[in-house]
Amino acid sequence: MKLVCPACERLVELEQFRLDGGSLVVTCGRCGVESRVDPKQPPRAEPAPPPPAGEVPPARPSPPPPRLVPFTGPNVVTLRTASVTAVEKAAEAADSNPFTAPEGCCPRCLAKRSPQAANCPSCGVVFAQLAPATLEPPLWLADAWRALLKTWGDDVQHELLRYRAFELEELAALGRLYRIRLAWAPEDPWAQKGRDEVLRLATAPVDLGKPPDRGRPTLRYVVIGGFVAFAVVVLLSLVRVVLKSLP
């Protein structure tokens, strides 16, 4: 049986011990300290008996010095989140061709497709008959999209471009650009939000508030005018009948 000496913190054999009442007193064979083991209390160390006169007490072993790690420069690891990666990839895409879909995606709807498929399983387009020029965004949107990719983390710029596309009725083209960005970077938070916001603007009932063209009569005024003219004709006919019936 072995015990850990609480004085020198070493594992020693149970060789020297005695009973003192209900406790077991163990003497460490290395440092000579007696430890009292009480079943109800944790073991505590008792001072070793003083050495005889003229005898030098054994030196108590000192704990090992702390291990020193040499300094080799800054050890800072930068946490790369999805947002940081998305901004970097968007800036890189601005200098290339950000209007093409990655391999394995339909060039029109961005759905997944197999390399052997002749048409898209989602939108049904025939790849051999699809002209790439029909997928190009308008010139103003292409320039604005490249500028947005360079400031991808700016929410205000995203919102301004969305409302400009809404006013010019180009939400479908802008939504496709956001889907292209998601196809290249599925974890991009700005591309996800942009796609959802474009869908919301495209499906929400919006009152454009366009004033009517005052140069042309509207259908409402034409109908009202017709009823008024009919009523005047009927009234004149009744007056004529009444005048003829008078003596």
pLDDT digits (tens, 9 = 90+) for 48-105: 566 666 666 666 666 566 554 444 445 444 445 778 899 999 999 999 889 998 988 9
Residue 163 and residue 189 share a domain: yes
**210 in a domain, yes or no?**
no
**Same domain for 87 and 199?**
yes
Residue 196 falls within a domain, yes or no? Answer: yes
Q: Are residues 94 and 194 in the same domain?
A: yes
Question: Are 92 and 150 in a shared domain?
Answer: yes
Question: What is the spatial distance between Cα 88 and Cα 242, in angstroms, rounded to a whole number?
Answer: 90
Containing domain of residue 110, as a range? 103-132
Q: Residue 47 pLDDT > 80, yes or no?
A: no
Same domain? For 111 and 142 the reply is: no
Q: At 182, is the pLDDT very low, low, confident or very high (cuts 50, 70, 90)? A: very high
Let me know whether 94 and 149 are in one domain: yes
SS3 label, residue 19: strand
Q: Is the dihedral of CA 212, 216, 220, 225 positive or negative?
A: positive
Indicate the pTM of the whole model. 0.52
- Residue 76 belongs to some domain of the structure: no
Q: Specify the pLDDT at position 137.
A: 92
Q: Tokens for 23, please give them.
A: 């406790």
Q: What angle do CA 182, 185, 188 make, to 5 degrees?
A: 75
Residues 125 and 145 in one domain: no
Task: Identify the helix (H) or strand (E) that includes residue 175.
Answer: helix 171-184
140 and 167 co-located in one domain: yes
Q: Per-residue pLDDT tens for 204-218?
A: 765 544 444 545 555
77 part of a folded domain: no
Q: Are residues 113 and 19 in the same domain?
A: no
Rounded average pLDDT over 192-215: 72
Token pair for 68? 């020193």
Residue 221 domain flag: no
Residue 233 scores a pLDDT above 90: no
Domain count within the chain: 3
Q: Are residues 142 and 128 in the same domain?
A: no
- Check pLDDT > 90 for residue 226: no
Amino acid at 221: Y
**Cα dihedral 103, 109, 114, 119 sign:** negative
